């Protein structure tokens, strides 16, 4: 199962994949030192708590959300620097949510990105507090990193995505859906599934793009295109993620796989079957790439990312 988990099907040319992987590495080289600095500079944090925050935030990862923020700013013709605070803030929210999702009372995972989860590496209380501290650090980063006239708007965008109607609501739904709590016709289950993921992953992806656009000074046409992109990208990502869980190897994924099925969790492969899930992910990636047409020729990386996301192996 090396290579793509979403085979068979047309593969993107490997040159495009290589260049997308290099583009993501570039995002990582840009954002990681800033994340490091922001954790180090947050004043007067007890050492063990700070260590846990650093552990969670600088874990190996794809930095997808920073990439969306930076590339959205770039698509507006702005610099990465202008959107650096946005990119850092969305990664902080993402990192905190992983720490809390992994807790024993939640998904109870021991392994994340190939390393012990935060509560295994530290302890449960520290993991709870680590998440609780990363969340305000995200808002502090936006409040002090965006120009004053848009800082409040930025905090509002992030807060809505991170809240009970976004990320947290999605996790609550997801837990409730375990063990087959969501039943009914395939259409009803599909709708429930899409609603979960619009909140759980879609909201923060969309906020990453919106914040990048805010920092980059995007106009209304930009906003419409980026919103369309975000919706399709988020769903494509989640279907691909479910497929990886169903088919991936633990080695490639760096976390326990097959756990969705173990829990009788509602997933796209369960509702749609493997083949239809693959087709749908590809169709959504095409739709996302198409939306990039509205970005005035500067949406290439975003388009490539949408294709890559459904062809990745981890």
- Number of helices followed by number of strands (H, E) in the chain: 16, 2
Nearest CA to 262 among 46, 107, 142?
107
Which residues have CB under 8 Å from 83's CB, separation 6+?
69, 70, 72, 73, 211, 212, 215, 216
C-beta closer to its own copies: residue 203 or 257: 203
Residue 287, CA distances (Å) to 194, 227, 282, 294, 303 in order: 16, 12, 9, 12, 9
C-beta closer to its own copies: residue 4 or 97: 97
In the complex, least distance from residue 141 CB atom to its own copies, rounded to whole angstroms: 8
| DSSP-assigned letter for residue 263 | T
C-beta closer to its own copies: residue 129 or 306: 129
Residue 18: CB atoms within 10 A of its CB come to 10
In the complex, least distance from residue 214 CB atom to its own copies, rounded to whole angstroms: 12
C-beta closer to its own copies: residue 8 or 148: 148
In the complex, least distance from residue 168 CB atom to its own copies, rounded to whole angstroms: 4
In the complex, least distance from residue 132 CB atom to its own copies, rounded to whole angstroms: 5
In the complex, least distance from residue 118 CB atom to its own copies, rounded to whole angstroms: 12
In the complex, least distance from residue 25 CB atom to its own copies, rounded to whole angstroms: 29
C-beta closer to its own copies: residue 77 or 147: 147
C-beta closer to its own copies: residue 9 or 46: 46
C-beta closer to its own copies: residue 43 or 262: 43
Residues that bind its own copies (CB under 8 A): 42-46, 48-50, 53, 97, 100, 103, 105-106, 123-126, 128-129, 131-133, 135-137, 139-140, 142-144, 146, 148-156, 158-160, 162-166, 168-169, 171-173, 175-176, 199
Question: How far is the C-alpha of 220 from the C-alpha of 225, rounded, in Å?
Answer: 9
Q: Cβ-count burial of 84 within 10 angstroms (0-12 exposed, 13-18 middle, 19+ buried)?
A: buried
Nearest CA to 54 among 70, 31, 38?
38
Question: How far is the C-alpha of 85 from the C-alpha of 90, rounded, in Å?
Answer: 9
Side-chain half-sphere exposure of 113, counting CA atoms within 13 A = 15
In the complex, least distance from residue 125 CB atom to its own copies, rounded to whole angstroms: 5
């Amino acid at each position: 199962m090396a290579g793509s988990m979403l085979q068979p099907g047309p593969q993107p040319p490997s040159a495009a994949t290589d260049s997308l992987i290099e583009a993501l590495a570039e995002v990582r080289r840009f954002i990681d030192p800033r994340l490091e600095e922001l954790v180090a500079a947050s004043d007067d944090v007890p050492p063990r708590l700070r260590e846990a925050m650093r552990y969670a935030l600088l874990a190996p990862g794809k930095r997808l959300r920073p990439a969306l923020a930076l590339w959205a700013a770039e698509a507006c013709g702005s610099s990465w620097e202008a959107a650096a605070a946005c990119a850092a803030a969305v990664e902080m929210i993402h990192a905190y949510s992983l720490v809390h999702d992994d807790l024993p009372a939640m998904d109870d995972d021991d392994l994340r990105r190939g390393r012990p989860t935060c509560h295994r590496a530290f302890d449960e209380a520290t993991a709870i507090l680590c998440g609780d501290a990363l969340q305000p650090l995200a808002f502090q980063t936006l409040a002090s990193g965006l120009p004053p006239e848009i800082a409040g708007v930025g905090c509002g965008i992030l807060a809505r995505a991170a809240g009970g109607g976004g990320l947290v609501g999605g996790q609550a739904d997801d837990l409730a859906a375990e063990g087959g709590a969501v039943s009914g016709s395939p259409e009803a289950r599909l709708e429930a599934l899409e609603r979960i993921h619009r909140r759980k992953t879609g909201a923060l992806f969309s906020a990453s793009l919106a914040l990048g656009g805010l920092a980059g000074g995007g106009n209304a046409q930009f906003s419409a295109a980026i919103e369309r992109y975000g919706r399709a990208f988020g769903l494509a990502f989640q279907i691909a993620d479910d497929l990886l869980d169903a088919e991936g190897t633990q080695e490639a994924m760096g976390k326990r796989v097959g756990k969705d099925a173990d829990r009788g969790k509602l997933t796209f492969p369960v509702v749609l079957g493997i083949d239809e899930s693959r087709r749908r992910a590809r169709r959504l990636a095409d739709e996302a790439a198409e939306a990039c047409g509205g970005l005035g020729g500067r949406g290439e990386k975003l388009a490539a990312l949408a294709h890559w996301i459904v062809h990745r192996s981890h």
